[in-house]
Amino acid sequence: MIGIIDYGMGNLGSVTNAFRFLELDAKIVARKNEMDDCRALILPGVGAFGDCMSHLVEHDFVDPIKDWVAAGKPLMGICLGLQALFESSEESPGVEGLGIFSGTVNKFDLPKELKVPQIGWNRMKETKPDCPMFAGVDDAAFFYLVHSYYVCPEDASIVAGTTEYGIEYCSAAWKDNVFATQFHPEKSQAAGLRVLCDFWNWAEAR
């Protein structure tokens, strides 16, 4: 069973529907005690970094998520769920992130011809072809993105995939039991569904 964390900010419907389409067991987790019977967790997110962290605190998910990761259990972040794994964001100065990954979240500063937010399809170049979440996914496959901010990891070794939009930035991160994407796999058709299925298989193997 995969738990999809409901902290009041997240694309729960489309993520749940993607797992239903794949015929894989997933449930909404609205309270920390509901994590107990889950093999893996997904942290989705849509909106602002500060609001995300405020809602995680309000719903008492911050320490349980940190404890989950520390225990070596699989966690996947999606979009804002990736950004929340970092220490801070230019979007919300003074607000602490989960700090699972070292680094910051910066705002795009791009030429006028490139619109911010980036909305639409773009390629992801795999920088870690051995990442289990890329099994059966073509290198430079297209994924769907909606974001104005991008993550800047201090440790380059966690960068599993990059995307170019005026700059080359980290669009997927992976370290130990934590995997996260800036793109929305649940909205990325066959390639995205493959990533979700791979995450399921990886979590089951662990």
* 167-173 own/partner pairs: CB under 8 Å, 24+ apart: 167/108, 167/110, 171/122, 171/124, 171/143, 171/145, 172/124, 172/131, 172/133, 173/82, 173/85, 173/101
**Which of 38, 91, 131, 184 is an active site residue?**
184
**Which of 38, 52, 79, 131 is an active site residue?**
79
**Which of 38, 52, 91, 186 is an active site residue?**
186
Contact in structure between 182 and 144 (CB atoms under 8 Å): no
Distance CA 28, CA 24 (A): 13
Structure tokens at 103: 């680094």
Could you confirm whether 131 is annotated as catalytic? no
Could you confirm whether 79 is annotated as catalytic? yes
Structure tokens at 95: 């607000």
Distance CA 148, CA 109 (A): 9
Could you confirm whether 59 is annotated as catalytic? no
List, in sequence order, every residue forming a beta bridge with 5; answer none if it has no partner: 29
For the annotated catalytic residues, the residue numbers are: 79, 184, 186
